[in-house]
Structure 1
């Protein structure tokens, strides 16, 4: 049978306790949410919902085509201008997802003959971008600028260094200033994915690149997602105007993909404007993450100190991590569960995401449930 091999893979996943299933959530779920990436608590905020609704009423349910054909509206251009201005870059380009934005940035900026130096802890979208790019990829030790220097020094010529700013598994931050210094030593470009930094790090949530004083640098390109802190959907690439123009003309996930739906663009723009007015939300998200970490470690859990809004709690094994997360859910608290092959080091974890709108009572409740259900 043509796809008979799928059955054997399914059996192997069951034996290893690695089966994934879809679990639709109802509207207005009663669960205390520490599983989503809604860091600022904006996904259901009335202003953001109205921003989406108004955009849909004005522009329709879909963008109707590629950005280069009919899929670019005045709303998309407005979002790009305000996003670039907020984050401190010359220009921005909006994509249908953060994944598409990462594929675009890496493939378009690492042509044949170039070297791509990629952090071992990078997100799957960056890894796939490296695989699709025509350059040669070298994976280096996680968050080690000296490993990047060694890779660049061994192969002179065009090169880019690719890294998350905040790594999605443990929530640790990349040493951006040091990476930029090494890149400039060898004339390499720096591409960083700030999916977990935008809205949390930097002045008023302007992102990790701004915090590292790299915003607007001619050799730095930043990708972001609109689906985490901004509570919407989509992604964007930020950088010099020349780089953005290059992407418009060469990035396949821009040229051949349907543009971001107007409702998502409207929601993201409303969230961005709210964040400008309420910059304290960024600091609150970080404070909640620190409080979760402090209380969990005080209770004897093995957690990783958060650099942004992700708190990682190690589990004994993949199957016990799944059971732990399920027991938390049954007790009314939704937490993430990361296990192989999603984690590069093979260590299973509960992954908690701090939200700016969590109260101290809710933080205490979450810690209590995690402790009571520990396998």
Structure 2
């Protein structure tokens, strides 16, 4: 069931005059309603204005973008970064870049719609993907480099953290394009996401793109990779013709680094507390150090709602897709919130 509300859903939300605990969404660090974070954003809003609609190639350029991109590169562990107005735009830039006669596109299971340029269906298993990539390499024209798109965190536990299925591919001959929207800011060294761990797998080339709205709580997207690739992307009409992320958001990202660290610590404590006391872990798919706990039991959603707990549950990314249901912890949740959730879950029978 869908609900329409009049404010951002933090740890609680109001439905028809009644208060519910909210364990959904993607505000993992709980910053959207954090007063300290909001004050940083307001200060940057006063400095940079509400929006900047000019091209990044304009003769007047605000230096906050370059500063943020250098900082992101250091956090992620890449040679260069680019910021854009959204994670979806970042994904579309990458899919458009490789949608030509020199590359052959392959989509791993559960790949996000942001990475699609045309109606290519993803492979349902990594085994099928592996076979297809190897067949292509054995018969291809030398110019057709295989490009494999995938989500780092697809909530099935298939990819992050070990990427075991991905490692069955001939990665040294593959350009790897990875959406890390649900990992950046949350997992990895200092919230740097999956770039460093994937680089160790030694693909032919690694490019990671993401939304900055989930882990970092700002409207924007980013792309990470080697300097040559990112320099080329910066020169495209796609990048130059689009408005950038708002400078106020980018400035807030720079100034909120200490706060991000504090919130990551709180989130880790909440995840550890939940897992320590959760009796029936087999009911859920979950990943190390990530706050999302996916399940397929529709009755569980209804049961929790009856007990004044709302979780994420809707078909994604469209009405024809499979129902996506998950419990999501955030750094904003208090121990008593999680305690109440655990009390409701632990009385259920084991699978």
Q: TM-score range by the shorter chain?
A: 0.7 to 0.9
Equivalent residue for 2:112, pick from 101, 114, 123: 123
Measured after TM superposition, the shift of residue 100 of structure 1 is 0.8
Q: 1:104: Cα distance to partner? A: 1.0
Deviation of 1:178 (Å): 5.4
Aligned to 2:17: none
Which structure 2 segments of 5+ residues have no match? 14-19
Q: Separation in 2 of the partners of 1:341 and 1:260?
A: 23
- Which residue of structure 1 aligns with residue 269 of structure 2? 284
* TM-score for the superposition, normalised by structure 2: 0.80
Map 1:1-375 onto structure 2 (within 5 A): 22-25=4-7, 30=13, 31-69=20-58, 72-126=61-115, 129-131=116-118, 137=120, 139-142=122-125, 144=126, 146-155=127-136, 156=140, 157-168=144-155, 170=156, 173-174=159-160, 175-176=162-163, 179=166, 182-185=169-172, 187-214=173-200, 219-250=205-236, 252=238, 254-275=239-260, 280-281=265-266, 283-284=268-269, 286-287=271-272, 290-291=275-276, 295=278, 297=280, 302-307=283-288, 308-316=290-298, 323=302, 327=306, 331=308, 333-339=309-315, 342=318, 346=322, 348-369=323-344
Residues 265 and 334 from structure 1, CA distance in 2 versus in 1: closer, same or farther, beyond 3 angstroms? farther
SS at match of 1:140: coil
| CA distance in 2: counterparts of 1:55 and 1:216, whole angstroms | 39
Please report the TM-score for the alignment, with normalisation by the length of structure 1. 0.76
Q: Please say which of residues 112-121 and 232-241 is displaced more in the overlay.
A: 112-121
The 1:71–1:53 alpha-carbon spacing in structure 2 relative to 1, beyond 3 Å, is: farther
Structure 2 vs 1, CA of residues 101 and 215 (structure 1 numbering), >3 Å: closer, same or farther?
Answer: farther
- Where 2:243 maps in the other structure, the secondary structure is coil
Structure 1 residue 280, shift from structure 2 partner: 3.3
Structure 2 Cα separation of the partners of residues 365 and 274 of structure 1: 27
Structure 1 residues 40, 56: closer, same or farther in 2, change over 3 A? same
Larger helix proportion of the pair: 1
For residues 78 and 345 of structure 2, what CA distance do their matches in structure 1 show? 41
